[in-house]
């Protein structure tokens, strides 16, 4: 039977079979990360750039590439456009990719994006030839501005990074999705599978999860669950949900009711 499904996810001309991006942060064991990559069936895994520790054993890069997936360097921890641009350039040099998940944080307690610095960094990186995927707030105007400067996608938060609060403002997320001409990837805030499903039902093109999977009691099982939730949410969106109603609407016919003797 033919199903009316959305075409595959495309970002900057690259096609992805999976609509789930995985953050590699928070896994306590490399084996768990490898297994979660497999269970999630993701094709894109984020990494951070940090000072080298010559004594450290094992290569994260080897673990990720052994799973046959691509790495997406981020600029996590940067508070200024200057630092984020330089970190992105180091990621490009180290990993040979022009893709970057751009993060410019404005506050340590909330880890919310710093809008002016984020926009400035995005503009500089686009000019420098990067494929920029910015982690942004759920502000529809900022999302539009990021698209306007040439970002390849926008990645609004559902709620603060690692908070597991889900999608705090579904109305704003809907506004972002409605207006966006580039893919919308829900980033941050997912706590469990239903949050990921809701993001897709609201029209997001993909979901990025890190803590929801890596810090779950059983990360591999949660990777399975969220993979299915993303698929289910996308299918449900394409299927077209019924409108919400104030009152009940019977699904069994009213006519033909038997009348029982007293």
2 is catalytic: no
Q: Are 135 and 143 in contact (CB under 8 A)?
A: no
Residue 39 DSSP symbol? H
Q: Are 66 and 57 in contact (CB under 8 A)?
A: no
The single residue among 9, 42, 73, 142 that binds other proteins, judged by CB under 8 A, is 73
Minimal CA–CA distance to 233: which of 210, 213, 204, 212? 204
Q: Are 49 and 39 in contact (CB under 8 A)?
A: no
Number of residues that bind other proteins (CB under 8 A): 35
67 lines the binding site for other proteins (CB under 8 A) = no
The single residue among 12, 95, 126, 149 that binds other proteins, judged by CB under 8 A, is 95
Provide the token pair at 11.
């970002």
Mapped onto helix, strand or coil, the DSSP state of residue 204 is: coil
**Stretches 25-33, 139-147, 151-159, 172-180: which one binds other proteins (CB under 8 A)?**
25-33
The single residue among 7, 13, 17, 54 that binds other proteins, judged by CB under 8 A, is 54
Nearer to other proteins, 23 or 233 (CB): 23
26 lines the binding site for other proteins (CB under 8 A) = yes
* Catalytic choice (19, 101, 145, 237): 101
Mapped onto helix, strand or coil, the DSSP state of residue 166 is: coil
Q: Which residues in 120-159 contact other proteins (CB under 8 A)?
A: none
**Any idea which residues carry the catalytic annotation?**
101
């Amino acid at each position: 039977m033919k199903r009316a499904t959305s075409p595959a996810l495309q970002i900057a001309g690259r096609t992805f079979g999976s609509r789930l991006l995985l953050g590699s942060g928070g896994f306590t064991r490399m084996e768990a990360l490898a297994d979660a990559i497999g269970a999630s069936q993701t094709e894109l895994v984020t990494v951070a750039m940090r000072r080298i520790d010559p004594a450290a054993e094992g290569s994260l890069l080897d673990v990720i590439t052994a799973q046959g997936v691509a790495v997406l360097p981020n600029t996590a921890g940067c508070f200024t456009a200057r630092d984020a641009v330089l970190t992105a350039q180091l990621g490009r040099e180290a990993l040979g990719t022009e893709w970057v998940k751009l993060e410019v944080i404005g506050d340590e307690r909330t880890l919310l994006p710093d809008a002016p610095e984020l926009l400035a960094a995005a503009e500089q990186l686009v000019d420098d030839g990067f494929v920029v995927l910015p982690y942004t707030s759920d502000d529809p105007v900022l999302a539009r501005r990021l698209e306007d400067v040439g970002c390849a996608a926008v990645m609004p938060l559902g709620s603060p990074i690692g908070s597991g609060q889900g999608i705090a403002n579904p109305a704003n997320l809907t506004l972002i999705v409605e207006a966006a001409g580039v893919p919308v990837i829900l980033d941050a805030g997912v706590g469990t599978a239903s949050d990921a499903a809701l993001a897709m039902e609201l029209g997001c093109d993909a979901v990025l999860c890190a803590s929801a999977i890596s810090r779950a009691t059983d990360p591999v099982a949660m990777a399975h669950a969220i993979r299915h939730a993303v698929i289910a949410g996308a299918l449900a969106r394409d299927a077209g949900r019924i409108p919400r109603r104030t009152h009940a609407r019977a699904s069994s016919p009213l006519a033909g009711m038997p009348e029982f003797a007293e």
